[in-house]
Chain A
Amino acid sequence: AQKVTQAQTEISVVEKEDVTLDCVYETRDTTYYLFWYKQPPSGELVFLIRRNSFDEQNEISGRYSWNFQKSTSSFNFTITASQVVDSAVYFCALSDYKLSFGAGTTVTVRA
């Protein structure tokens, strides 16, 4: 069975600090996809990034970066120089025939 664990329940930082969100997953599949979604206070779910299991290259997109390590089944996500608008719940998700979501990490960025 697919499982996604986000051990951090809440993270609070001051603006301009970096925030790293941890995600650990379990799957028996050899091909799978990992995602990060953001849910701001307004409630919608916003897609951030998608990664396939064959591509372990870590990337940076603007203030977002991610670190995918297949050996440790981790897919961590970093927000650099956080801003108040980054305050949201962040979900890591794993796909097979559906998306399995972690419990989410609430990020609060204080001015």
Chain B
Amino acid sequence: DSGVTQTPKHLITATGQRVTLRCSPRSGDLSVYWYQQSLDQGLQFLIQYYNGEERAKGNILERFSAQQFPDLHSELNLSSLELGDSALYFCASSTGGSQETQYFGPGTRLLVL
């Protein structure tokens, strides 16, 4: 158990819908990262937050957004969902910058029908 929690574990929804994925980092970690894992793209970095502020952005679509709250939990919002958004979404946390070890949550498996 990495200490990072993610909810829900599984999510099935329809195209055009909006979903919210939630992540709680390990105790003491200030950075939260979101990654998408799909068969065709592999593991892709989406976005990083550090202590409530956006720190870095990767291949995140405009339909996706995230935030980190004062209690350091984070949410990833996916809207206008398409079939291609079906993937495993991971949250990771670290004490500070991305060169620290990132510990991953169990992931949320999203299926868009």
User: A residues engaging B (CB < 8 A)?
Assistant: 32-33, 35, 37, 43-47, 50, 52, 91, 95-101, 103-104
- 10 tightest A-B contacts by CB? A45-B104, A98-B45, A101-B43, A97-B56, A33-B99, A44-B106, A95-B99, A50-B101, A95-B98, A97-B98
Rounded to whole angstroms, the CA-CA distance of A37 and B103 in the bound complex is 10
Chain B: which residue is nearest A29 at the CB level? B99
Contacting residues, chain B, for A96 (C-beta < 8 A):
98-99
Encoded as 1 (CB less than 8 Å from any A CB) or 0, chain B from 89 to 113 comes to 0101000011101111111010000
Contact between B98 and A47 (Cβ–Cβ < 8 Å)? Answer: no
Q: Are A98 and B98 in contact (CB under 8 A)?
A: yes
**Do B102 and A99 touch across chains, with their CB atoms under 8 A apart?**
yes
Q: Which residues of the other chain, A, contact B35 by a CB distance below 8 angstroms? A: 99
- Complex CA gap A98/B101 in Å reads 11
Report the interface size class on chain B: 20 to 34
Contact among A37, A43, A47, A52 with B106 in the assembled complex (CB-CB below 8 Å):
A43
A32 — which chain B residues lie within 8 A by C-beta? Answer: 99
Q: Determine how close the nearest CB of chain A comes to the CB of B88; give it in whole angstroms.
A: 7
A97 to B99, CA, bound (A): 7
* Binary interface encoding of chain B residues 42-84 relative to chain A, with 1 for a CB under 8 A from any of its CBs, else 0: 1101001000000110100000000000000000000000000
